[in-house]
Structure 1
Amino acid sequence: MEDLVEAVDLARQAVDFCQIGNPIRPLSLKTLAYCVSARYKQLKVTEDLNESVLLSREVLGLCPTGCPGRSAALDILATCLSDRYQQLKIMEVLDEAIVLGREALDLRPRGHPNRSNSLDNLASNLTIRYQQLKVIGDLDEAIVLGREGLDLIPIGHSDRSKPLNNLALHLFTRYSSLRVMEDLDEATVLGREAFDLCPQGHPDRSTMLSSLAQYLHSRFAQSKQVQDQDELFSLYAQLVQVTQIVFSNDLSAAREWIQVAEHFEHPTILLAYETSLRLLVQQVAILPSLPQSLVVLKNLTSSLAVDAFLAGLRNRSPTRAVELLEQGRGVFWSQLTRLRSPLDDVIASGPAGKTLAADLTHLASLIRNTLGSPAADQYDQLCHLNLKMQSVVTRIRELPGLSRFLLPLPFTDLQRAAIGGPVIIVNACKYSCDVLVIMPDGDPVHIPLQITLESVHDLSKELHTLTVRAARADVTREFAIFLRKLWDHIVFPIVDFLRTTTPPRSRIWWCPTGEFSALPLHAAAPYRKGQQSLSDLYISSYTPTLTALIRARRHSPSTSVASQGKHFVAIGQAKAAGETELPSVGAELDIIGQSVSDLATFMRIDGEDSCVSRVIEELGKNEWVHLACHGLPNRTQPLDSAFALHDGHFTVQQIIGCDLKNPEFAYLSACHTTVGYEESPDEVIHLASAMQFVGFRSVIGTMWAVDDGATTAIASTFYQYMVDEVGRLDHTRAAFALNKTMKSVKIPFDQRILYIHLGA
């Protein structure tokens, strides 16, 4: 993707260099239009589509009647207009594309080398118009044009696969309307031929596979021939063979496999989910640019992990359910971890590992470059690179301790997350809501919940309304009613089980998915006489994934000797530009200094000193950090979520670029620091998770708006409980300290439950 972005930039520079009147300007414009259109097809950014149309119109304007390049200019503009129609559904746009396509075809008579392309493009647009207007003449003409285009390409030629596939689609469209079985049979025959012309590793193979699968599915529905169903799932099973280089159509085909397997309740359902998740991870791995990774995740991960989790439960394989959920959640952070510390374990294994790591990095770069090249040039290069990539990965897995390199962790490894206490996965999907409790040994315990996804959504909306009202009114009673609902419908069945296995006041970790992530499960309570709340029974923490919790418990060499104590920085900004003043920030930093200055090397940064560059510098020097400022969540562009500092925003994207030595504990005294990505909540991208990613083992975050007047009392009490028996600051006490603090401070009710602990 970065290479495609660079191609657009270079093409734009070429256009800028070729001023109006320059004879090569049309070629430069055409190249830029092609690159921008290709970027639109990847990212679906409307601005790219609009620009490609404008550029194509300019190219056509520079190619008058009789110009040799006019037919190509007509084809490019017709293609861009077809894309615009698909987005806007404005019939005049499609009609213009068809008119331009007819003109391009007239300029390419029989014998013209590009006539088959014009025939194919015009036929596709006619079929699209038929789907809207249902004029059978459009579809019949599309089939005639498709047959003529196919006849122009020799049997067995690799260029034949696309027109074969398109003609099959035209025939299938006619079958769907008229139910003429001969059309469906012919579409199936043509689909098989198109698929056979795209061997393993071909960029279009999964597109052809999806089309053929659609015909087989329809034919089985019509005739109930078992061989059609067998061929259908045998076809999908070939997606397992997709290896290191993954295209978006591979993942789309695997998602279709899931839908069909769910429909038939087919035994390949878990394999379909496993394959989809693996392909997702591998596709994101070749997108080193963070915003582009998020676009892919937003478009492709919706409900995939949580549905896979339920499929594991339905198939009576709770350990498999955990593995699949872990594989599909936090993909952004997992891939970013590889990019942040590329191949560290491989390099550390010795000279052979260092060489293999360099080879793998070089191959990844070559693959990205090849993916940005014209499609006609991709196949042979990608096959060669794929074989080399597989060879390098195989050799890396032969190194000591690296047998699982680039493979998801098995349950036996993931279960280590429960060493300090049970981990409770609370999963919400469209089919059901379920809990799995992971214990230090044995299989996970499944607890079905009597609540629907719609009800969870309603609870999330109710919580949002309450937190907004809490800023101007006392909503203690309403909050109590809300927390009783959490207890009755979600938490009580879990507590009922924990009472049989886990002693009171033990630690537990919540690992919620989807909209469960927005609910304060730690604060659930029955609010009935004689009954204890969850916070009375257990000490709650949260973790976005099991892997994140395991990583938080890892020991690493400290940069300071234990006898020298901790290095602690308190950062505050009361008057960030454009934000309301936070009068209590100064007092909050004062009380923290008084609480920890005898226990750590203490530094305070506030006012004009709390600028982004200084904060980044100090984060690299201190194991403990307390941030008191405005938190600014961005639910649609989560990498722009930020802390408001003196000279601007300290964003998630800047945080994850920090290089810290031995971070241990971060207290985020700011609003909404655990509010994440609205369109892909299971990626858990927010300020607190960014602090976890850069290495902080223990983090205090907030679920909604913080009352500035309550922060000093909370911080004062909290740090008293962070001191261990021998008088040292201990980050592993954070969950206990938070629990004790919220039972003792006198602050508004909503403020006592908005703080949560993440990590070890």
Structure 2
Amino acid sequence: MNDLGCLLGQKFEATGVQSDIEEAIKTLREVVSLTPSGHADLPVYLNNLGNSFGRRFERTGDLPDIGKAIAIKERAVDLTPPGHANLPGYLNNLGNSFDRHFERTGDLPDSDKAIAIKERAVELTPPGHADLPSILNNLGSSFHRRFERIGDPPDIGKAIAIKERAVKLTPPGHADLPSILNNLGNSFDRRFERTGDLPDIGKAIAIKERAVELTPPGHADLPSFLSNLGSSFQSRFERTGDLPDSDKAIAIIGRAVKLTPPGHADLPARFTNLGNSLQSRFERTGDLSDIGKAIAINERAVELTPTGHADLPARLNNLGNSLRCRFEQTGDLPDIGKAIAIIERAVELTPPGHADLPAHLTNLGNSFHSRFDKTQSFDDLNEALSYYKRAGTSPAGPPSVKFDAAKTWAILLHIHFPASPETLLAFETAVRLVPVIAGLEQTVQHRHSTLHSISTFTLSAAATACYSERPDKALEWLEQGRCLVWSQLHHLRTPLDDLRVFNSSLSDRYSDLSKALEVAGSRTSGSAMGPPTSIADGVSAAEEALSHVKLAAEWDSVLTTIRTTVPGFENFLMPPPCSSLLQNLPDTGPIIIINVQKYRCDALALMAGLDEPFHIPLPCFSFEKAETLRTDLTGLLKSFGMRVREDAQGSEIGQHRKPRQARTGPHGETLASILATLWIDVVKPILDALAFPSSSELPRIWWCATGPLAFLPLHAAGIYDNGDSETIFDYAVSSYTPTVTSLTSRVKNARTALDDASGLFMVSQPDTPGLSRIPATMEEVRGIQAQLASCGVRELMLEGSAATIEVGLRGMENYNNVHFACHGSQDKDDPLQSGFHFHDGPLSLSTIIKKNLKNANLAFLSACQTSAGEEKLSEEAVHLVAGMLAAGYRGVVGTMWSISDTQAPEVAKDFYEYLLAGGGAGIDTSRASYALHHAIQKLRRRSGNSKHSLLTWVPYVHFGV
């Protein structure tokens, strides 16, 4: 009778015929009733009966069935002696029932019980056991479900790693393989929804397509696999906008719906997937028939979902969104009224702390906002603002969802209630979420990809602060939201001497975690590696990603412990207030931050002795003007052959060039006009506001520009007429800094720059394998070598084949100053892979940074475009110069575009001549900015201010102290 009951249950799983599961339960109940207490087979029979109730629950969704399944399976486990071969299976089945109950009710303790029980099942299952893949798959699914509820990143990382192990252990042709593959694909889906990392959704689609291919026609699981595959195509469409993905999603999910029998418990979920896909296509195409179908299908999904079901809030939310979308197209007010009422109910039914709550609150805010746009009722606007605020400040949920809500809250307040005290609070809420979205649990490459679309929001926040006459807030937010990746690296390398005095073990733990996170962050993301070549490769990648997430979580935990237990460390690595940022300013001149935003431009001057930033509005400058100047400069450089070419891998290769013949036409005037515009609209108004006198003893200025202005030569701004010139060179010696903190930390940790033992390490690569020849580098470096020798300064020169990466790294460790005369490469996709070309390959920034060169002083990068950066990441300073600052160098000389073979040796000669003029046996690197100023002035006197000569000396820049 037991065998008959089990076979009926298996038949039901394959065919979905309801009468089979009813007969199975009836038969197995009789089996249990006929079995005496203490019988050795009673746990077997109980387990089978519990499974049958579980199967019926999955079909009908009837809550008492899953309650009975749990009670019966708990009895089976209790009656099974320790060490019994069946115990892992019973535990696994019991855990599955707690999972089903959790899915239905959303009761979080059920999920925790399921995970604990299944972890015990895995521990008790011997390696090589035939059931191990299935048990692992189920454990992974439990972590997946808990992630959906609370959104904790380690849970989805664990889910993927465990399920990939299950796939690896499942033999080809096994009946469970399609299900295990489907579940793995679902977990890649969820992680993609959290991070937006496109390789994850690509993997999800490929894995689910394989699951569908392996599932025979007529199998009861086929509709589920199809629905999930369609949802993955839909997710990718929402990210990329590729319409064929939307069409595939609708066709595949439509097929899944047709194959699902009436009354099936999963039918509402499949209706929901189909409705969402139709709505997304409507948002792209505007086809009203799609949104009409979406509304009807979402209404059906809600009707079929029982009261109390954990998915009911999400389905109500989807229905409300569909109605809002139609309202925004048609303006039909009843639609938006219904949408608001339905999403309000979704919010009411979503438990506090649920990961979906911020999204539901945001959608409710969107609905009120849409109605406000139609009616102009400020009651609707105030309701929208209230819900955006709740979403943006929610303690749980994906950071990206909370950021979008906080951003909308802030922008609407600024537009409609600029004087509201909440306006600055809203912007601060959004700015503080930017580093959370691009967190340490991600690779550097993925962080940069994420920042493409959000980093410029910081500029809007700063502009609002300036409008509100709060330059202190503008400064704080610009520091928090710009150059995030370099700031995170700085945090990982924060000196811990004071902490070690209080708690050496905590200090050591923080240091160990920081080093491990630095290594984990530098690993290559999936998008660069391509798809795994085998399941084993996939498992390895998932385990690496999971380890990275765990490291970040533990680092955060240790950081919290430091702040809460160590006296004086309450604000350790917290975003610094304005008062802290104004400490350790250089006393030789101001730092000038220039915020370039769509609606206004402002300068903030930070000067030693002032207790707040000096605000200088720039009404004659604009974002559009900055963008036009940047575009003009790019076109000019390309026309003269002074812009980079790309190698086969897409990395930009900077190289010395013989300048083309000067030509007639607008190009020379264009560069002069760019410099003149910068002078008239930006630099001169700042100098006038600061009352900068023209002087023979020139002070310093550090420029910190944002937006398109970050790619323009502020250090050379001026009127370059042969008869009557006025330029920045008459007023100050210019340097740049990526952030204020980058400079003040160097001022704070000042050390003697004149170091007799420091010397200079030089690299010359006239014949880089695979790249063009640069014969002038030999002349340049040998000339410097002669200068150093005449002054008795310690030096080491590597040339040609002697300049290998290994020897080069030793030279950088043994010499505080370096001079690289070689090719440089800029990697747009992964800036830490940018570097310098040595004889045996590129020496990457990632490799240099890992050396943590604590005594580094000066780096002269006589390569091309070492400070050019990446236009899509204007706020991240992703160039070689910034990377060398991050590696520890206090000052760096670089170039904004290609430099001349002829002029480079002369600039280097004059630069070092100035630094060696003190007569000592060392290099006074504290005067590096003045040395570059001196060398460029000499080059100007030799070449004049012609349209061609401007191109030869303007690219040289100095960063740091």
Which one of the candidate residues 651, 667, 680 is aligned to 2:844? 651
| Pairwise CA distance, 1:398 | 5.6
Deviates more, 1:243-252 or 1:6-15: 6-15
Q: Moved runs in structure 1, 4+ residues, more than 6 A? A: 1-10, 342-345, 358-365, 385-392
Mapped pair 1:409 → 2:610: no
Q: More displaced, 346-355 or 398-407?
A: 346-355
- 1:633-712 alignment runs, 5 A limit: 633-712=826-905
Q: Does 2:277 match 1:116?
A: no
Among 934, 951, 955, which residue is 1:750 paired with?
Answer: 951
Structure 1 position 754, deviation (Å): 1.3
SS of the equivalent of 1:299 reads: coil
| d(CA) in 1 for partners of 2:512, 2:498 | 15
Q: Would you say how many aligned residue pairs link Structure 1 and Structure 2?
A: 741
Q: 2:701, 2:866 → 1: CA distance?
A: 21
Contact 1:356 1:396 in 2 (8 A): no
1:462 alignment partner in structure 2: 632
Secondary structure, in 3 states, of the residue corresponding to 1:171?
Answer: helix
Change beyond 3 A, Cα 1:130–1:482 = closer
**Inter-CA distance 670–3: structure 2 relative to 1 (3 Å threshold):** farther
State the alpha-carbon separation in 2 of the partners of residues 31 and 319 from structure 1: 50
Q: Does 1:171 find its partner at 2:338?
A: no
Task: Using the TM superposition, give the Cα deviation of residue 663 of structure 1 relative to its aligned residue in structure 2, in angstroms.
Answer: 0.6
Q: Secondary structure at the match of 1:732?
A: helix
Task: State the 1:669 CA deviation.
Answer: 0.7
| Superposition map of 1:291-330 within 5 A | 291-301=445-455, 303-330=456-483
More deviation in 747-756 or 423-432?
Answer: 747-756
Q: Look up the SS of the partner of 1:403 in the other structure.
A: coil
**Alpha-carbon shift at residue 517 of structure 1 (Å):** 1.3
CA distance in 2, matches of 1:639, 1:360: 20
Structure 1: runs of 5+ lacking an equivalent: 369-381
Tell me, in whole angstroms, the C-alpha distance in 2 between the residues paired with 1:387 and 1:750: 50
671-680 or 547-556, which moves further after superposition? 547-556
Moved more, 33-42 or 594-603: 33-42
1:525 counterpart = 2:724: no
CA displacement 1:223-249 (0-9 Å, x = unmatched)? 454443333223333356456985221
Q: SS where residue 616 of structure 2 aligns? A: strand
Q: Could you report, residue by residue, the CA deviation over 1:587-636 in whole angstroms, capped at 9, with x for unpaired residues?
A: 22212222224453211112112122222222222211111101222345
Deviations 1:101-121 (A, max 9, x none): 233234444543322211211
Gaps of at least 5 residues in structure 2 are 1-152, 522-548, 643-658, 944-948
Letter in 1 for 2:737: T
Q: Tell me which moved more, 573-582 or 40-49.
A: 40-49
Distance change >3 Å, CA 609–CA 356, structure 1 → 2 = closer
Is residue 660 of structure 2 the alignment partner of residue 472 of structure 1? Answer: yes
User: Residue 781 of structure 2 is aligned with which of 589, 594, 603?
Assistant: 589
1:537 to 731, 737, 745: 731
Mark the CA change 1:358 to 1:192 in structure 2 (over 3 Å): closer, same or farther: farther
Establish whether residue 422 from structure 1 lines up as the match of residue 623 from structure 2.
no
Q: How does 1:285-364 map to 2 (within 5 A)?
A: 285-301=439-455, 303-340=456-493, 346-347=499-500, 349-351=502-504, 353-354=506-507, 357=510
How far apart in 1 are the matches of 2:586 and 2:398?
34
Deviation of 1:733 (Å): 0.3
> Of 897, 908, 921, which residue of structure 2 is paired with 1:715?
908
Amino acid at match of 1:64: P
Distance apart, 1:62 and its partner CA? 1.7
Structure 2 equivalent of residue 510 of structure 1: 703
SS in 1 for 2:220: coil
Q: Deviations over 1:7-53 (max 9, x none)?
A: 76876676566564343432343244334444554565666545543
Tell me how far apart the structure 2 counterparts of residues 195 and 356 of structure 1 sit (CA, whole Å): 42
Q: CA deviation at 1:739?
A: 0.8
In 2, are the aligned partners of 1:123 and 1:146 still within 8 Å (CA)? yes
Task: Kindly provide the CA deviation profile for residues 428-476 of structure 1, in whole angstroms up to 9, marking residues without a partner as x.
Answer: 1111222222222143131324122222122122223333426202376
Compute the RMSD of aligned alpha carbons.
3.6
Kindly indicate whether the alpha-carbon contact (under 8 Å) linking 1:569 and 1:626 is maintained by their aligned counterparts in 2. Answer: yes
Matches for 1:383-402 after TM superposition, within 5 Å: 393=560, 396=563, 399-402=566-569
Q: Is the 8 A contact 2:672 2:720 kept in 1?
A: yes
2:517 and 2:669 map into 1 onto residues whose CA distance is 57
Give the partner amino acid of 1:489.
D
Pick from 429, 435, 447: which aligns with 1:281? Answer: 435
- Secondary structure of 2:582 counterpart: helix
TM-score (norm 1): 0.88
- What percent of counterpart residues are identical? 28
Residue 272 of structure 1 aligns with which residue?
Answer: 426
Contact 2:678 2:714 (C-alpha < 8 Å) held by counterparts: yes
C-alpha contact 2:506 2:562 (8 A) present in aligned 1: no
In 2, Cα distance between the equivalents of 1:223 and 1:757?
55
Task: Using the TM superposition, give the Cα deviation of residue 673 of structure 1 relative to its aligned residue in structure 2, in angstroms.
Answer: 0.4
CA distance in 2, matches of 1:27, 1:105: 18
Q: Give the superposition deviation at 1:477.
A: 6.0
Match of 1:621 in 2: 814
Partner SS state of residue 893, structure 2? strand
1:711 is matched by which residue type in structure 2?
A: A
What's the counterpart of residue 378 of structure 1?
none
CA distance in 2, matches of 1:204, 1:502: 60
> Which position in structure 1 is the counterpart of 2:600?
432
C-alpha distance 412-530 of structure 1, shift in aligned 2 (>3 A): same
* Contact kept? 2:784, 2:908, Cα under 8 Å: yes
How many angstroms does 1:205 deviate by?
2.3
Distance 1:618 1:359 in 2: 26
Cα distance in structure 2, aligned partners of 1:53 and 1:337: 38
Cα distance, 1:425 vs. partner?
Answer: 1.4
> Following the alignment from structure 2 to structure 1, what is the Cα–Cα distance between the partners of residues 605 and 511?
41
User: How far did 1:574 drift?
Assistant: 1.4
**1:160 aligned onto 2:312:** yes
How far, CA to CA, are the matches of 1:201 and 1:343 in structure 2? 35
Greater Cα radius of gyration, structure 1 or 2: 2
> How far is 1:276 from its partner?
1.2
Aligned-partner Cα distance in 2 for 1:718–1:85: 55
Q: Residue in 2 aligned with 1:374?
A: none
Aligned to 2:761: 569
Structure-2 change in CA distance of 1:356 and 1:89 (3 Å): closer
Q: 1:254 aligns with which of 396, 403, 406?
A: 406
> 1:478: how far off?
5.5
- Contact persistence 1:2–1:289 (CA under 8 A): no
Letter in 2 for 1:289: T
Q: Indicate the residue corresponding to 1:497 in structure 2.
A: 689
Q: CA distance change for structure 1 residues 216 and 348 in 2, over 3 Å: closer, same or farther?
A: farther
Give the equivalent residue in structure 1 for 2:17. Answer: none
Q: Provide the C-alpha distance between the structure 1 equivalents of 2:395 and 2:511, rounded to a whole number of angstroms.
A: 20
Contact 2:760 2:817 in 1 (8 A): yes
Letter in 2 for 1:423: I
Tell me what 2:13 maps to.
none
Distance in 2 separating the partners of 1:244 and 1:99: 35
When residues 702 and 134 of structure 1 are mapped into structure 2, their CA distance, relative to the original with a 3 A threshold, is closer
- 1:145 aligns to what? 297
Q: Is 1:128 matched with 2:128?
A: no
TM-score normalised by structure 2 residue count: 0.71
Residues 244 and 390, structure 1, Cα contact 8 Å, conserved in 2 = no
1:683 partner SS = coil
Find out whether 1:580 has 2:797 as its counterpart. Answer: no
Aligned to 2:218: 66
Specify the code of the residue in structure 1 equivalent to 2:342: L
SS at match of 2:311: helix
Q: 1:731 aligns with which of 912, 925, 928?
A: 925
Deviations 1:249-288 (A, max 9, x none): 1222222223322332442332222111111112323434
Letter in 2 for 1:631: G
